[in-house]
Structures are given as C-alpha cells and as structure tokens.
Amino acid sequence: MNRRFVCLANSFKEGGRCLAGIELDANNNPLIANGHPKWIRPICNTPHNELPTYLVSHIKILDIIEVEIMNYPNINNYQSENAYFNERSLNVIEQYSKNELNKLCDNRNLIFGNRGKAVSSEAIGNMIYSLMFIRINTFEVIVKTYDDSPDKHQIRLVFAYNGNHYDLPVTDPVFLHLYQTNRHIFDNYNELYVSLSLSVEWQCWYYKLVAGIIFSETDKTAPTNVEDDLPF
C-alpha cells in the first residue's frame, strides 16, 4: 500500500538515519488518528531499524514523500509508527508549505507522558507512540560535556512547553551543522517547530530526542541550501 507523508525528521541514529513524518491525504492534509496527527517511521531490517544514510541523506525536512508500505511490525507498542517499506519506492514528490505547519502540531499536555528527559522501562509499556511535533517560543541551545567523554560535545535544546521545561539532545544533522557554523543562529528567531522522538532502550531508559528543528521564518543570513554542503 502506498503512503504519503511530510518529512519532519531525518536524524542521526546509531548505524544510519531515522526518517519520520506525518501522513497526508491526497490533498496534503494531515491524517488524524485517536485525536492526534498520524506519524509514520519507515524502517529497515537492520540492528536498530535504522535506514542506511545513502538511502535518505538527500531528503530534507518538509519534503513530501511517497513510499510503498509492506507491513507494520509494532502496532501495539511505543514504536507503533514503525513500518517496513519497499526501499525502491521512496520518492520525493513536492514540498510541504511552512504556512501549514500549525496543522501538524500535537496537543498533548506533556512530552511523552512526563516532565523528565526519558521514559522508564516500566512506563514504556503504557506508551503507544514515540513521535511528536510541537511549536515553542522559549528556547536556547546549550553545549554539554560529560566526565566520561570530555572531548565530546553534546548540543542540547532547552525549552518550555505547556509550562514545563525540557533539556534534550539534538540529533537533527542539518541543525547541528548550522549551529556548529554559527552559534548565533537563533538570534533572528522567536519561534521554532520541533520534532521529538523516543530512543531505543539504553540502560532501562528510553531517552527523549530533538529529531528535527524548523525555523518559523526564513533567516536571510542563513544558507538556503545548507543540505547540499553537509559532509555526510
């Protein structure tokens, strides 16, 4: 069966990439399921269900993609969005309008059910989703280092959402490249659209990630085709 979706994340994942987006109808209106936008995450039969980088590195956030879905392996768990697909069917057909982004935003009160940085292995059994898309207007980027990896810098997005504060690592390769090039990238913006995802289990926790960042308006100082210059 063929499915159409708008790409809202093409993020780093161990071994490759995580591609995900919200499903659209033939008129590019978002599909709604159980009162929320319906997400899809195409996956491969790989160790972490990651997609090979070569297969999707050309895909940009807001690309509208059509793909042939083969089956849904995890319909009753937190990664219910996962879908095996025909890799040869992946096709970019057009671009989604930034003016329509509010139609895609989620209305959940908390991010993945709590105010913390992760979901516990006990709580994950009650989750039936692992992707969200939100709009924020209070945010900053911080760079952290850790004692066990002092030479490694982790870029994190600190933001407020529905009165709660979150501090999550960024895995969006385009944003990471932009930020490493220009630490003042946020100076011209007061609003962001953010894709959020849950990681696979690590030490009994499922960590929240910022998988995609969309600036609400075009920054005239930023390169318009930065994806073409990415070193990956």
217 band by pLDDT with thresholds 50, 70 and 90: low
Q: What percent of the chain has pLDDT over 70?
A: 93
Q: Find tokens 């385009």 and name the residue.
A: 174
Q: Distance (Å, rounded) from C-alpha 80 to C-alpha 217?
A: 32
Question: Any idea what the Cα angle at residue 45 is, between residues 129 and 130, rounded to 5°?
Answer: 10
For residue range 26-69, what is the model confidence (pLDDT) as tens digits? 999 999 999 999 999 999 999 989 999 999 999 999 999 999 99
Task: Please tell me the total number of residues recorded for the chain in this structure.
Answer: 232
Mean pLDDT computed over 223-231? 42
Mean pLDDT of 85-94: 96
Cβ neighbours of residue 69 under 8 Å, at least 6 residues apart?
Answer: 1, 2, 3, 40, 42, 83, 84, 85
Cα–Cα distances (Å) from 143 to 59, 157, 176, 212, 226, in that order, read 27, 9, 11, 17, 22
Task: Decide if 153 contacts 145 (C-beta within 8 A).
Answer: yes
pLDDT digits (tens, 9 = 90+) for 112-162: 999 999 999 999 999 999 999 999 999 999 999 887 777 788 999 999 999
Domain spans in the chain, listed from the N-terminal domain onward = 2-229
Asked if residue 221 has pLDDT above 60, the reply is no
**pLDDT of the residue at 76:** 79
Contact 129, 80 (CB under 8 A): yes
CB-based contacts of 204, cutoff 8 Å, min separation 6: 120, 121
pLDDT higher than 50, residue 226? no
